[in-house]
Amino acid sequence: NMNDKKYNIYLLISNSIFAFILWLLYVIISFIIVGKVMFSIHGLLYIINSFIFCLCSLTIAFLIGNLMNNKEAINGLVNVIALGSSFLCGSFVPVEFLPDPVLKVAHILPSYWFINSNNLIKTIEVINKDSLTPFITNSIILIIFSFIFIILSIIISKHKRKIG
């Protein structure tokens, strides 16, 4: 019988493989649709950004899976997080049109940093340290979010094991 710790590790690994396959499919489709852009340094930056966000999304999903056991509750929470962050972070409405208080809240969500990087990539004319610094900063923030979600998942999983 597999203990919870091993189960969580296997679950995270298998989910990572699945997420990587979906991400790779997304990248292939983007090469088909907008090949010219994807075969440039901008395309490489978009690929890197999407991969980091994919990892962050994976860790959010892992956290939600550790938080709840009920499929309906998980689906509800996922919808609230996905749609809520999309509205707050500039997916549906460009950030230029969002009021400052909304943007301040958006900073606590990973989607904001992903969308911000995409917007930065679009405007980069010359690739150098200065033009890449904001992108690198956003990427580091997304990676930190990922670590936070993994740590929270471990804490929640340990707590669940203790209580039964």
DSSP 115-150: HHHHHHHHH--S-SHHHHHHHHHHHHHHHHHHHHHH
Neighbours of 65 (CB within 10 A): 18
Residues 6+ apart with CB under 8 A from 51: 23
Reply yes or no on whether the pLDDT at 38 is more than 60: yes
Supply the pTM of this predicted model: 0.91
- State pLDDT tens for residues 56-83: 999 999 999 989 888 899 999 999 999 9
Return mean pLDDT, the chain. 93
Average pLDDT over residues 31-47: 96
How far apart (Å, rounded) are the C-alpha atoms in residues 126 and 138?
Answer: 18
Amino acid at 102: V
For residue range 99-124, list pLDDT tens digits in order: 999 999 999 999 999 999 999 999 99
Please give the single-letter amino acid code of residue 21: I
Average pLDDT rounded to a whole number, residues 20-45: 96
Backbone angles phi, psi at 66, to 5 degrees: -80, -25
